[in-house]
Amino acid sequence: MPGQLALSEVLESWPDFDCAIHVPLSENCGGVVEPLLAAVPTIAGNVGGLPEVVIDGLTGRLVPIRNPGALAESIFESLTNPEEHRGMARLGRELVATMFDVRRTAREVYQVYCHILDRAQDAPPEFDARLFLADRVLNPSDACEVQSPCRTTRDTFDEQMHQTA
C-alpha cells in the first residue's frame, strides 16, 4: 500500500514530531496512545473517551471539535512552549503505559469475568487516571522521567482537582 510505513519506521519517526494532533468527530483513542507513548506533545479533540487519556493541561491539550481557531491556538501554544508540552507528554507516557499495560488490563478482564461468574467476588476497581496522575504530580520524585515541567503541571492539576471537587 503506498505510504504505508513499517512499524520500525514509525517508531523511529515519533521523536521527530513537535506535536501530534488528533481531533476526530468521534472517539478513537489509538490516535493519542501512540504519540503519548513516544512522549510527543499531543493535542486531541474533546470527544468520547479521549479526555480520559489526554487530560487537558496534564497529559496534553484538549480542544473542542469543529473549532479550527481553538486548534490553531493550541498548536501555536505547543510550538512556542515546547518544554511545558514535553513535560505533559512525559506524564502522558506514564499514564498510557500503565493504563494500557497488557498485564494490568489482562488482570482486570480476568477479574471482570470472575465477578460475572461469581457475584461474591468483587469487581475490579476502575482505573482512575486522575488518581494515577495525582501520585506522579504530587510526588514527582517517585515518577519516572517527570522533571521540572511538572511544576506547571502540578499547578494545573491542583486547579483541576478543585474544579471537580
* 127 within a domain of the structure (yes/no): yes
Residue 140: pLDDT band by 50, 70, 90 thresholds? low
* 158 within a domain of the structure (yes/no): yes
Cβ pair 51, 62 in contact under 8 A: yes
Other CB atoms within 10 A of residue 124 CB: 15
* 1 within a domain of the structure (yes/no): no
Q: Is the pLDDT of residue 148 over 90?
A: no
* 109 within a domain of the structure (yes/no): yes
By CB atoms closer than 10 A (0-12, 13-18, 19+), residue 100 is middle
pLDDT digits (tens, 9 = 90+) for 21-73: 999 998 778 899 999 999 999 999 999 999 999 999 999 999 999 999 999 99
Domain span at residue 47? 7-164
CA atoms within 13 A on the CB side of 128: 8
* 27 within a domain of the structure (yes/no): yes
User: pTM, whole model, 2 decimals?
Assistant: 0.79
CATH code assigned at 155:
3.40.50
* 2 within a domain of the structure (yes/no): no
How many domains in the chain?
1
pLDDT digits (tens, 9 = 90+) for 102-120: 999 999 999 999 999 999 9
